[in-house]
Amino acid sequence: MNRRALHFFARVVFVIAAVAFAATTSLAQNDSPPPSQSPTKSSSPAPAPPAPAKKVWTNDDIHSGAPSSPDSNVKPAGTLNKPKPNAKGKDAGWYRTQISKLQAQIPPLDEKISQLQAALNGQTVTSTRQYGGARPDDWRDELSRFQKQRDDIDAKIAALEDQARHDGVPENELP
């Protein structure tokens, strides 16, 4: 056990020494004087280029909405109301298409739900039932399955509308 502790201690000391050596060499490289440009010139420092003048903003500059320089952070007033696509490229058209596809699935489900409810209420139904297996499904199970599908579609539509609103798409651009 004593030998293991000695080996561990030696490794730790080695790592610390290596880190200390690397730190001192990098500091020494950063502190070195800049190389002279020519040995014949005098040792006077070269004049530094003038710093660009800083823009002093006034309230009029901020409230006018017009940028005073091309690298200004103020956006023109016309670009503020335009919907921007998010990072995934989802704009108002994409959301409109997805919501329309989901809304197109609702009327057939509503028709099936109304037929099953009518049959469960004792009314005559003119459509034929399709059997998919060895025994037909219970109408109540089938009705609950269709209602769950309808609720899932409604939830997906609500989620898409919420995501569109979060991405800055105006509500009047959605179906």
Q: What is the pLDDT of residues 53-88, one digit of tens each?
A: 777 777 777 766 555 555 555 555 555 555 555 556
- The more confident residue out of 158 and 132 is 158
Tokens of 123: 């009314």
The residue to which tokens 């489900």 are assigned? 109
Tokens of 67: 């940028």
Residue 84 · residue 139 · CB < 8 Å: no
Region for 24 from its dihedrals, namely left if φ exceeds 0, alpha if ψ lies in -120 to 50, beta otherwise: alpha
Residue 139 · residue 130 · CB < 8 Å: no
* Across 28-39, average pLDDT: 55
pLDDT of residue 31: 53
Q: What is the pLDDT of residues 87-146, one digit of tens each?
A: 566 788 899 999 999 999 999 999 989 988 988 888 876 666 666 655 566 778 888 999
Tokens of 107: 């009327």
* DSSP structure string for 102-149: HHHTHHHHHHHHHHHHHHHTT----SPPPP-SSSPPPHHHHHHHHHHH
Q: Which of 167, 90, 150 is nearest to 114 (CA)?
A: 150
pLDDT of residue 57: 78
Interhelix angle for 92-104 vs 106-120, to 10°? 20
pLDDT of residue 106: 93
Q: Which helix (H) or strand (E) holds 27?
A: helix 2-30
pLDDT of residue 168: 86
Within the chain, what is the greatest distance between any pair of CA atoms? 111
pLDDT of residue 54: 77
- State the pLDDT confidence band at 19, using cuts at 50, 70 and 90: confident
pLDDT of residue 152: 96
pLDDT of residue 145: 92
**pTM for this model (two decimals):** 0.46
